[in-house]
């Protein structure tokens, strides 16, 4: 190398437990000169320590995150911006003057606000998600049950018992499935799914002696989309109607939870935004 490479002074801040490993690696590479600032450059060490985050800034950040979490949660339940109702009665926020306050006063105000709201809002929001998940699960079960409404058997029979194995599912090759099941001395019930001529799909229910379980499993793996309905008991039509009623009740519960959250948002969102901005101002200071 004809000319020396450009040199730069670089400072590292590392955890004490990693110091020895880092020093050895850099020393072995021969690319850097390493000094211990505790002995050779104490002014640099003092400057680094002076730049450490203020504990009050961390406290402010914690409050800011909690307030932001509530703001983000409640905003989901405000009326959307579309539709005539929103056009003629848009959601507006009251303008507030954000003033600088002593931190202990601001902390007390935020604590009082969070004590009244935080647990309630998060609990209601959790309830909304749980009800949504239950509705989604019911919708999937209703969709699968709709393929078997013409069958009259107990759904709890779809399992392995001491003497027989019963399986249900959907197939596009009913003739092959029928042939395979009959070769196992089993019985197959089937029904056409869908009204379109191009759709070639059948719902199938097979019953075989338990000794043929493994062979029936192979048939299902090759030709059938396996469906399970455990732990449902009753005929497909009976269970379908029961689940429809349950879904109706859940939709009502969901509307009630969302209504409560919307009222909380309309009442408290403005003050949450103000307190968050006050905290942000103090944190930046």
Instruction: Summarize pLDDT for 123-166 with one digit per residue, the tens.
Output: 999 999 999 999 999 999 999 999 999 999 999 999 999 999 99
pLDDT at residue 156, as a whole number:
94
- Distance, in Å, from the CA atom of 189 to the CA atom of 171, rounded to the nearest integer, reads 12
Task: Say whether pLDDT at 14 is over 70.
Answer: no
- Is residue 112 very low, low, confident or very high in pLDDT (cuts 50, 70, 90)? very high
Residues 245-261, mean pLDDT to the nearest whole number: 98
**Encoded tokens for 161:** 């018992």
- Distance, in Å, from the CA atom of 107 to the CA atom of 111, rounded to the nearest integer, reads 6
pLDDT at residue 147, as a whole number:
95
Beta carbons of 148 and 236 less than 8 angstroms apart:
yes
How many other C-beta atoms are found inside a 10 Å radius of the C-beta of residue 256? 13
**Encoded tokens for 6:** 């450009």
- Is residue 1 very low, low, confident or very high in pLDDT (cuts 50, 70, 90)? very low
Task: Say whether pLDDT at 108 is over 60.
Answer: yes
- Distance, in Å, from the CA atom of 31 to the CA atom of 12, rounded to the nearest integer, reads 15
131 vs 10, higher pLDDT: 131
pLDDT at residue 283, as a whole number:
80
Task: Say whether pLDDT at 179 is over 90.
Answer: yes
Instruction: From 228, 208, 219, 269, select the one nearest 79 (Cα to Cα).
Output: 269
What counts of helices (H) and strands (E) characterise the chain?
Answer: 9, 4
- Distance, in Å, from the CA atom of 204 to the CA atom of 177, rounded to the nearest integer, reads 9
Distance from chain centroid for Cα 23? 44
Distance from chain centroid for Cα 185? 46
Task: Say whether pLDDT at 87 is over 50.
Answer: no
Query: Which range, 46-50, 118-122, 199-203, has the best average confidence (pLDDT)?
Result: 118-122
Query: Which range, 9-23, 43-57, 266-280, has the best average confidence (pLDDT)?
Result: 266-280
- All domains of the chain in start order, with CATH: 19-50 (no CATH), 64-78+93-157+235-285 (1.20.1460), 159-227 (3.30.70.2750)
- HEC letters along 92-144: CCCCCCCCCCCHHHHHHHHHHHHHHHHHHHHHHHHHHHHHHHHHHHHHHHHHH
Distance from chain centroid for Cα 234? 33
Instruction: From 171, 168, 178, 156, select the one nearest 234 (Cα to Cα).
Output: 156
List Cα–Cα distances, 160 to 137, 177, 207, 214, 226, in angstroms: 24, 19, 10, 11, 14
Q: What is the mean pLDDT of the chain?
A: 85
pLDDT at residue 207, as a whole number:
97
Task: Supply the DSSP symbol for 16.
Answer: G
* pTM recorded for the entire structure: 0.72
Query: Tens digit of pLDDT for each residue in 193-232?
Result: 976 666 789 999 999 999 999 999 999 999 999 999 988 9
Residues 162-178, mean pLDDT to the nearest whole number: 97
How many other C-beta atoms are found inside a 10 Å radius of the C-beta of residue 190? 18
pLDDT at residue 235, as a whole number:
96
Task: Say whether pLDDT at 93 is over 60.
Answer: no
Buried b or exposed e, range 77-97, using 16+ CB within 10 angstroms: beeeeeeeeeeeeeeeeeeee
**Encoded tokens for 107:** 């902390």
């Amino acid at each position: 190398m004809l000319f020396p490479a450009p040199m730069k002074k670089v400072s590292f801040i590392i955890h004490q437990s990693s110091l020895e490993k880092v020093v050895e690696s850099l020393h072995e590479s021969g690319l850097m000169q390493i000094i211990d600032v505790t002995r050779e450059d104490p002014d640099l060490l003092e400057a680094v320590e002076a730049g450490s985050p203020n504990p009050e800034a961390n406290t402010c950040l914690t409050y800011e995150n909690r307030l932001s979490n509530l703001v983000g949660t409640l905003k989901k339940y405000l009326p959307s911006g579309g539709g005539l109702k929103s056009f003629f009665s848009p959601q507006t926020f009251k303008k507030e003057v954000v003033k600088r306050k002593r931190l202990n006063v601001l902390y007390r105000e935020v604590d009082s606000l969070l004590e009244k709201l935080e647990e309630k809002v998060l609990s209601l929001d959790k309830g909304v998600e749980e009800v949504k998940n239950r509705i989604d699960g019911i919708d999937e079960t209703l969709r699968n049950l709709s393929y078997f409404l013409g069958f009259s058997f107990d759904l709890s029979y779809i399992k392995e018992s001491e003497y027989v194995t019963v399986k249900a599912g959907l197939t596009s090759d009913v003739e092959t499935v029928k042939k395979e099941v009959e070769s196992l001395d089993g019985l197959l019930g089937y029904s056409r799914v869908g009204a379109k001529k191009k759709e070639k799909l059948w719902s199938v229910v097979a019953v075989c002696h338990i000794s043929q379980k493994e062979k029936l499993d192979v048939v299902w793996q090759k030709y059938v989309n396996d469906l399970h309905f455990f732990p449902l008991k009753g005929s497909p039509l009976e269970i379908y109607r029961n689940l429809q009623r349950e879904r109706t009740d859940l939709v009502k519960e969901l509307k009630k939870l969302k209504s409560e959250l919307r009222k909380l948002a309309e009442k408290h969102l403005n003050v949450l935004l103000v307190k968050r901005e006050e905290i942000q101002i103090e944190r930046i200071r």
